[in-house]
């Protein structure tokens, strides 16, 4: 069985739920265009969505068919994306990660100030920050009650666009050209791709 790349996205309930869902859907869709086998799904074990509660979204990529389709959770995430920077303070987002992982945080603070909040940062090979809130402005809030089934605002508007752009550059798992076909806000995605700050850790 080929290696399965596990990506976990942390977001906050209700106010960033759509952003988190967009990130996993866009990332999986773009990887599918490159002929990869993908899975993307919301969490099934966290609290029900309440405002500000931490929620997880998962993506899995593989070159071959992914066999463990009934496991709703990434035990060993390779890439962790934090959509709201305060989450790193209150939760061990790197839980289960093997040495040499990647962490991407949406913040306008410096990488060093974020590392202070991560006691197990020795697991990381790469840490990156992207100021998605600064690039696209306000977040898109979707209270239509459609639970993602119908989405009139489009997939990949708001902070999801720069975050997937940053993910494409940092992880190298997907191409920017494929992302541009999926994302609504292409300019935001390209700014995220350009403006992401990457730091390699020893």
Partner 1 sequence: MAKELPGYGTINVPKERQVPFGAVTKAPVCTQQLFITSNWRVVRPVKDDEKCTRCLICYMSCPDACWIFKEEEDVMEWVSDFCKGCQICINECPSDALTAVPELDFPDGVVRLDKPF
Which residues make up the interface to partner 1 (CB under 8 A)? Answer: 12, 46-47, 51-56, 84-87, 89-92, 95, 107, 109, 113, 116-117
CB of 119 to partner 1, least distance (A): 8
CB of 90 to partner 1, least distance (A): 2
Residues 14 and 29: beta-carbon distance below 8 Å: no
Nearest residue (CB) to partner 1, 36 versus 139: 139
Nearest residue (CB) to partner 1, 86 versus 144: 86
Q: Which residues contact 3 (CB under 8 A, 6 or more apart)?
A: 62, 63
CB of 195 to partner 1, least distance (A): 20
Query: For strand 5-12 and strand 79-82, is the pairing parallel, antiparallel, or unpaired?
Result: parallel
Nearest residue (CB) to partner 1, 86 versus 146: 86
Nearest residue (CB) to partner 1, 55 versus 196: 55
CB of 116 to partner 1, least distance (A): 7
Q: 3-state DSSP call for residue 31?
A: helix
> What DSSP line would sit under 8-38, residue for residue?
EEEEETTTTHHHHHHHHHHHHHHHHHTT-EE
């Amino acid at each position: 069985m080929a290696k399965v790349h596990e990506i976990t996205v942390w977001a906050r309930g209700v106010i960033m739920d759509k952003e988190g869902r967009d990130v996993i859907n866009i990332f999986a869709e773009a990887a599918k265009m490159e002929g990869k086998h993908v899975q993307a799904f919301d969490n099934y074990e966290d609290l029900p969505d309440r405002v500000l509660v931490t929620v997880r979204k998962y993506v899995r990529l593989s070159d071959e068919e992914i066999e463990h389709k009934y496991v709703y959770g990434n035990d060993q995430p390779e890439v962790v994306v934090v959509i709201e920077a305060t989450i790193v303070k209150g939760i061990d987002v790197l839980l289960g990660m093997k040495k040499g992982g990647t962490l991407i945080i949406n913040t306008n603070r410096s990488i060093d100030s974020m590392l202070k909040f991560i006691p197990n940062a020795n697991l990381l090979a790469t840490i990156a920050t992207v100021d998605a809130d600064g690039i696209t402005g306000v977040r898109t809030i979707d209270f239509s009650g459609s639970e993602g089934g119908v989405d009139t605002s489009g997939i990949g508007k708001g902070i999801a666009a720069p975050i997937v752009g940053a993910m494409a550059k940092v992880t190298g798992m997907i191409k920017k050209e494929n992302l541009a076909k999926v994302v609504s806000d292409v300019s935001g995605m390209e700014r995220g791709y350009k403006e992401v700050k990457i730091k390699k850790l020893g």
